[in-house]
Each structure stands twice: as C-alpha cells, then as structure tokens.
C-alpha cells in the first residue's frame, strides 16, 4: 500500500481538489483495509473487496480511489444515509469492518489549531495527524452480500411491459399480477417527470 502522502496526491488529482474529506476518506479506507488484512486492493486483492459508503460527499471519492471499488464495477455500494461512514467487506470471509468518522473530530481540529485561520485548514491539518482512534470508531461486522449484487453476476433480463425498457438482475415488482420495472411500479419514486414544453 502506498504512503498516506502518495494516496493523498492521487486522491487530490482524481477528486479535483484537496479537502478535509479527501484526508478523512483516504484514512478511513486505509484503516478499513488494514483491519481486513487487504494489502493490494487495486491489484492482487481486487476481487476480495466490496465497500458500502453511507454518504455522497468528498470523502466518497477518496474511499473509491484507495479501495479501487467503483459503482461501475458493482463493488461500491451507496446507502444514502447521510453518515460519514463506510463498511469494508472481505468477500472471501464475509467479514467486514464498519468505520464511522467521529462527530467531535471537528471540535478537536479547532482546539488543536486555534491559531490557523479557517475551519478547512484546521481540519486538514488535524485529520492528517490525529491517531485513528481519535478520528474514527470501528465495529467488526458480518456482511452477506446478495449474490445478485456481486460483480460479474449474470441474471435474467426482462422487458417492462409498460415502458418497454430492459431491466437487469431481477429488479421488478408485481403489480396486480403484472411484472413491472421499479420505475413503473412506483412512479412516485421517479427522479423525473416528462417535460411537455416545446424545446
Ligand atoms: Zn472535496
Ligand atoms: Zn417500466
């Protein structure tokens, strides 16, 4: 595994800027991998790891960078819970570790560096230096990843009779005896409405 500095340089380049979230995310991922004994997540160990993130902010990019887990590889799972937390899972054993950034680390940053101007600068310095146990809480967990959620899973594909769109991996709901895609089964959950105005 690269050094913290090397990982931070890569994270900065991939994310577009350096920020407290990059430092927190990189350190969270490094700690998770260490706990699982995974040393080469983007190389030899790349098929062993799945990561669940619970927030879609800066740190998420850093976690993806360090672990090599990505949405497009089906190895990065997003749970929209608004928590600065991630669960790293070793598929080989089903064992995982869920790591949460401690809420009081911001106050700690302010207390440590009162002479530094700006919260972001204070946090970046503190998040680099503070020991893991002052930044994170961690819990050993077991995770059963649904086979349909695993990378490389091949499942049936069906055509939704209502919208005519193809759907992968058994994502459908029965409505009045009809098998519909999730967007037709629950239109209220759609992120869009048709735009009826003329272009
Ligand atoms: Zn950022
Ligand atoms: Zn449909």
The answer to whether residue 90 scores a pLDDT higher than 80 is: yes
How far, in Å, is the centroid of ligand 1 from the Cα of 20? Answer: 7
Distance from C-alpha of 127 to C-alpha of 78, rounded to nearest angstrom: 24
What pLDDT is stored for residue 18 in this prediction?
96
* Ligand nearest the Cα atom of residue 184: 2
Q: pLDDT per residue over 66-76, tens digit each?
A: 999 999 999 99
Q: pLDDT per residue over 44-87, tens digit each?
A: 998 999 999 999 999 999 999 999 999 999 999 999 999 999 99
What pLDDT is stored for residue 84 in this prediction?
96
What's the token pair of residue 62?
Answer: 């850093």
What pLDDT is stored for residue 159 in this prediction?
94
Distance from C-alpha of 156 to C-alpha of 141, rounded to nearest angstrom: 31
Nearest to 136 by CA among 127, 144, 145: 127
* Ligand nearest the Cα atom of residue 181: 2
What's the DSSP call for residue 156? -
φ and ψ at residue 87, rounded to 5 degrees: -115, 125
The answer to whether residue 8 scores a pLDDT higher than 90 is: yes
């Amino acid at each position: 595994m690269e050094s913290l500095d090397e990982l931070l340089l890569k994270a900065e380049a991939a994310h577009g800027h350096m920020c407290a979230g990059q430092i927190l995310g990189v350190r969270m991922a490094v700690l998770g991998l260490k706990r699982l004994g995974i040393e080469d997540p983007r190389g030899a160990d790349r098929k062993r790891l799945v990561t669940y993130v619970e927030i879609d902010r800066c740190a998420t990019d850093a976690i993806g960078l360090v672990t090599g887990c990505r949405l497009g590889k089906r190895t990065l799972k997003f749970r929209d819970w608004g928590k600065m937390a991630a669960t790293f899972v070793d598929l080989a054993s089903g064992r995982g570790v869920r790591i949460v950034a401690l809420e009081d680390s911001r106050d700690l940053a302010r207390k440590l560096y009162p002479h530094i101007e700006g919260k972001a600068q204070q946090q970046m310095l503190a998040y680099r230096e503070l020991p893991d146990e002052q930044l994170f809480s961690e819990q050993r967990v077991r995770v059963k990843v649904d086979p349909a959620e695993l990378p490389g899973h091949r499942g049936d594909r069906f055509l939704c009779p209502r919208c005519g769109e193809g759907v992968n991996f058994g994502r459908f709901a029965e409505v009045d005896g009809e098998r519909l895609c999730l967007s037709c089964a629950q239109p209220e959950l759609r992120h869009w409405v048709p735009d009826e105005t003329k272009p």
